[in-house]
Amino acid sequence: MKSEIIAVGSEMLTPFRQDTNSLYVTEKLNEIGVAVAFKTIVGDRQKDLVNAIRAALARIDILILMGGLGPTEDDLTREAVAEALSLILRRDAQLVAALHTRAAHWRLPMPSNNLKQADVLHGAAVLPNPNGSAPGQWLDTTFAAHRKLILLLPGPPSECRPLFDAECLPRLRAIVPPRSIAKRTLRAAMIPESQADKLLAPIYTTFSDVETTILAHAGDIQLTLLCSKSSAAAARRRVDELAGRLEEALEDWLYSSEGESLEQIVLYYLGLRQATLAVAESCTGGMIAQRITSVPGSSRSFLGGAVVYSDALKTAFADVPPQLIAQHGAVSAEVAQALATGIRLRTGATLGLGVTGIAGPTGATEEKPVGLVHIALSDATKTESVEKIFRGDRNRVREWTTQQALDLLRRRLR
């Protein structure tokens, strides 16, 4: 069965805001075997809404409308569905009472306009919304002699998502032919993009029954494999078969077979080896520490570190000799290695990571371009460093550097 999502709200037609509910709902729909064929974003104008609803009903089986159920004059989804399908809206006495109770409880005023939230499409079931005042609606109807399901959901994510899960998914499951979905997410770090395509496309394109999505961002690629079959075992088998072939092709670029992030994997290895980590960051300015500490429980393996933006702090916090900086420059393999060793010794960590580079847009010299970074890793037995030149703006250089640093750690700990 094919579906369309219509997100309702003029704010989503500005340059500033995007609908995100549809991503959530799409994931849930795909998991029960319903494809999303169209998404439409439309403003709070009844004429446009009616137009979008009619266009949708002419091309799909399941229509999911999100937004426009509130109490204001701009909330027109109920009215538009009624117009598009020539249905009557009736004011539901029970819902009216519930609105009064709610207003009294929160000591809110109750303007008469609020009561439009109690208007129900003829033939629709009311979907309770414990997180807001406007209930959802479920309409199982016919349009141009075909059966159509029309779902009306509130717009705020905190209302839309729980309501969809609790009220819509079970109803859809009972109607949609049962499909079993298997899913796997593989992740790999620092593989050159051209290489990834050349390696992977010949494999996944031969699995026409597995949908493969590849996302790439700053040295990270994420492959999501999705297979829908009538049997759970068959779906699982195909996904695992493809995953196995892709894992083999990705060699040691692969860091995760079940979707974990690179920082989660690094912390997993640190825990396994009972090792601790400290970092001394210059150009990344705290980004590495921030990514590691985004993982709950990271304090078990991560001691902390220093953001050594000024040369004086490189000496004060990581004991980098001033003459080393004077001789090689702050952005050099020598200083990166001194940072890694220095922070390790100063903190008593098992591993020390040191990063220095030119994030740009200024700071380049004739020999040292914007994007040049040195990343060093030190433990009791050795200190090694890599030199890279990353392209892109300041933020991109910092993101790539952070990813490269975490990958260096992963490869050492494996």
Among residue numbers 19 through 38, which ones bind a copy of itself (CB under 8 A)? 20, 23-24, 26-27, 30, 35-38
- Of the pair 119, 220, the CB lying nearest a copy of itself is at 220
> Which residue of 362, 366, 367, 414 would you call a contact of a copy of itself, by CB under 8 A?
362
Helix (H, G, I), strand (E, B) or coil at 286: coil
Token representation of residue 226: 């999705």
Report the largest interatomic distance among the alpha carbons of the chain, rounded to a whole angstrom. 84
- Contacts (CB under 8 A) with a copy of itself, residues 388-407: 394-395, 398
Residues 291 to 350 in contact with a copy of itself, rule: CB under 8 A:
292-294, 296-299, 302-310, 312-313, 316-317, 346-348
252: DSSP letter: G
Nearer to a copy of itself, 104 or 312 (CB): 312
Beta carbon of residue 257, minimum distance to a copy of itself (angstroms, whole number)? 18
Sign of CA dihedral 249, 252, 257, 261: negative
Q: Is 160 in the site for a copy of itself (CB under 8 A)?
A: no
Closest Cα partner for 40 from 62, 19, 16, 15?
A: 19
CB of 92 to a copy of itself, least distance (A): 28
Q: Please, which residue, 140 or 156, has the CB nearer to a copy of itself? A: 156
17 binds a copy of itself (CB under 8 A): yes
Number of residues that bind a copy of itself (CB under 8 A): 75
- Residue 378: strand pairing partners: 352, 383
Q: DSSP character for 34?
A: P
If binding is defined by CB under 8 A, does position 287 make contact with a copy of itself?
yes
Closest distance to a copy of itself from the beta carbon of 292 (Å): 7
Can residue 59 be called a binding residue for a copy of itself (CB under 8 A)?
yes
Going through 168-298 in order, the beta strands assigned E by DSSP cover: 180-189, 210-217, 220-229, 254-256, 277-281
> Judged by CB under 8 A, which of 21, 32, 40, 342 binds a copy of itself?
40
Q: How far is the CB of 274 from a copy of itself (least distance, A)?
A: 15
Binders of a copy of itself among 163-222, rule CB under 8 A? Answer: 211, 213, 215
Which range in 12-20, 133-141, 238-246, 381-389 contacts a copy of itself by CB under 8 A? 12-20
When asked if residue 252 is in the footprint of a copy of itself (CB under 8 A), the reply is: no
Nearest to 398 by CA among 311, 235, 287: 287
Residue 382: partners with Cβ closer than 8 Å, 6 or more residues away: none
Binding residue for a copy of itself, selected from 158, 231, 290, 365, defined by CB under 8 A = 290
Measured from the CB of residue 297, what is the shortest distance to a copy of itself in angstroms? Answer: 7
- Binding mask of the shown chain, residues 255 to 284, with x at each position contacting a copy of itself by CB under 8 A: -----------------------xx-xx-x
CA atoms within 13 A of residue 5's CA, in its CB half-sphere = 25
Q: Residue 118 or 279: which CB sits closer to a copy of itself?
A: 279
Task: Decide: 403 and 395 in contact? Cβ < 8 Å.
Answer: no
Q: Between 118 and 325, name the residue whose CB sits nearer to a copy of itself.
A: 325
DSSP-assigned letters across all residues of 67-135: S--SSSTT--HHHHHHHHHT--EEE-HHHHHHHHHHHHHTT----GGGGGGGEEETTPEEE--TTSSSP
**50, 84 in Cβ contact below 8 A?**
yes
